Amino acid sequence: MKILLIGKFPDFVVSGIGKKLKIVHLKKFEPGKNLRDIETSDIMVITAGVKVDRKFLERAKSLKTLITFTHGYEHVDREALKSRGIKFKSVPGSTPSVAELTFGLMISVIRKIPEQDGLMKKGEWKRDFGRELCGKTLGVIGLGPIGREVCRIARSFGMRVVATDPNKLMKGGMKVEMVSLDRLLKTSDIVSLHAHLNEETKHMIGRKELGRMKRSAILINTGRGGLIDSEALHESLRSGRIAGAGLDVFEREPPGRDKLVRLQNVVATPHAGADTIEGEERKIKILLDILKKKS
């Protein structure tokens, strides 16, 4: 059973898996190269940067199982896998990491931490008033594992939580006030995006939706960049239509010196929501369990 890893995995992830199982690692997939490894592998483990479509699968003649070392799977054509009878698995494990960064971004924006840190580094002692999370209404869009964890943490801050679930991800066992997207946008002080990206949810937050939000509202996105119309968000933030945004994901990654990232009322991180040692260690354990059952 040949196991092939494709993509930029952290070294400790590769070594952690390699200690338990025999693997081949391609740091980068380039069409026309490493065809032998692609053609002869029974199991492939990929990162988000590896797009698996019908053209890719034409080369993967021996593939029986595809595993993405990510929570999301927008980079995988699951219909193409299904047509070939190839089994598919995603590797969760980053739920606490992403949920915690969500609140890190919230607090950074609402308390103006980056601005004050920048002034302190310049030797300036300039205090400014922010706002509390306690007592605010948090609107959560998407109730998969991460969205549900965000709801749970929000309550410990004393926040009121409302939610909508466009992907119908929520399973039983959680009580949360469900509202329409329109009502969520109009009543929330902070809106946090955790929906899957697909044709129905692409640009679900556009000019019209941003116009429904409070002028004092903050938008947080640790889901997928394509959930938001970036141009509309830039316009809304620049004009003061909404107060601020915390963004970990972007329509184009990396965004470079994107005009959205350069706004003073935006706190940005480089799609780092899942990037914790603990999260990766959990994912290694989950992946090894999957691979041992397959091999």
Give catalytic status of residue 177 as yes or no: no
- What topology is assigned to 3-94+276-294 in CATH? Rossmann fold (3.40.50)
Where are the domains positioned within the chain?
A: 3-94+276-294, 95-268
**pLDDT tens per residue, range 93-117:** 999 999 999 999 999 999 999 999 9
pTM of the model: 0.91
Quote the tokens at residue 252. 């184009």
Predicted pLDDT at 201: 96
Residue 219: what residue type? L
Q: Do domains 3-94+276-294 and 95-268 have the same CATH topology?
A: yes
Among the ranges given (19-28, 30-39, 57-66, 180-189), the one the predictor scored with the smallest mean pLDDT = 30-39
- What topology is assigned to 95-268 in CATH? Rossmann fold (3.40.50)
**For residues 33 and 153, which has the higher predicted lDDT (pLDDT)?**
153
Give catalytic status of residue 207 as yes or no: no
Give catalytic status of residue 100 as yes or no: no
Number of helical (H) and strand (E) elements in the chain, helices listed first = 11, 12
Task: Choose, from 58, 132, 253, 278, the residue flagged as catalytic.
Answer: 253
Predicted pLDDT at 167: 79
Q: Strands of 160-164's sheet, edge to edge?
A: 177-178, 160-164, 137-141, 190-193, 218-221, 244-247, 266-268
